[in-house]
Structures are given as structure tokens and as C-alpha cells.
Amino acid sequence: MARIDDEMLVCRCEEVTVGEIREAIAQGAFDVVGVKRRTRAGMGLCQGRTCEKMVQQLISMELGVAPNETGVSSTRPPVRPVSYGALAEGVF
């Protein structure tokens, strides 16, 4: 398979590229959360809904591990963006 270009955008929300994710892995990231903290991939508005699978695949390719060994981002409320006004009124 052809090498994926370093310039390709992976996380659209935080504008993180393949190259930046490779660098994070080279610095020691070994899972989705480690890549997230080093690059911000998955920290944006969509919270990794779009890019998490791609980050998993990149880790899998770079480290030679199975995609299901690359972890997932921790699940945290709210499950979708909610205004602070609504939260203050208690939407739970």
C-alpha cells in the first residue's frame, strides 16, 4: 500500500495532519488517547467521531499492532454539544 501523505488532514476540527500524528507516535504515543494529548486530534467539536478510526489505523500501521489494540477515547458527558444555559437549568 502506498504511504499516506504527511500533509493529509486527519482531524478536521483541530486541523491535525498525518505527519503530526506520526511524529506523536515517534515520541512515544501508543494509543488513541496518547495521540490525542500530543496532537489535539479528537479534542474538537466532534470529539473524535470523524477521526478516531483513522487515528487507530495510523497507529496500527506505524506500530504494527492490530487496530483494536490502539484504544479508544474515554467517554465523557455531554454526548453532544449542549449550551451552558441548558446545562445550568439541569437537563439530566
Partner 1 sequence: MKTYDIIVIGGGMMGTSCAYYLTQEGLKVALIERGDIAGGTVSHTDGYIGASEKQPGVDSMQGAESMKLFDEMRKTFDYDFEYATNENDDPIGFVYFCDSEFEFEKAKEQVAKNQALGIEQYAVDPYILQQLEPNCAKDLTGGMWVPKDGAVCPFRVAFGFVEEAKKTGLLDVFTRTEVLDIKQDPNTKAVQGVVTDKGEFAAPKVVNAAGCWAPFIGAMVGMEVPIEPRFGQLTVSEKTGKITQNRLALEYGYYLTKFFQDGERPIDPLVKAYNVCLNITSDITGNTVVGGCRLFRGFSIKSEYRIISAVAQRGIRYYPMLKDFNCIRSFAGIRPFSLDHLPIVSDVEEVPGFYMACGHEGDGITLGPITGKLISQYATGKPLQFELAKELAWSRWQGRDIAAYKKKEEENSKALKAVEEAYLASLEK
Binding site for partner 1 (CB under 8 A): 27-31, 33-34, 37-38, 40, 44-45, 47, 74, 76-78, 81-85, 87-92
Q: Of 44 and 61, which has the nearer Cβ to partner 1?
A: 44
- Which residues are bridge partners to 11 per DSSP? 16
For the bound state, the minimum distance from the C-beta of residue 72 to partner 1, rounded and expressed in Å, comes to 14
- Report cis status (omega within 30 of 0) of the bond before 77: no
DSSP per-residue codes, 7-57: T-EEETTTTEEHHHHHHHHHTT--SHHHHHHHH-TT-STTTTTTTHHHHHH
Q: Of 64 and 77, which has the nearer Cβ to partner 1?
A: 77
For the bound state, the minimum distance from the C-beta of residue 24 to partner 1, rounded and expressed in Å, comes to 9
Query: 73 is written with which cell numbers?
Result: 477515547
For the bound state, the minimum distance from the C-beta of residue 70 to partner 1, rounded and expressed in Å, comes to 12
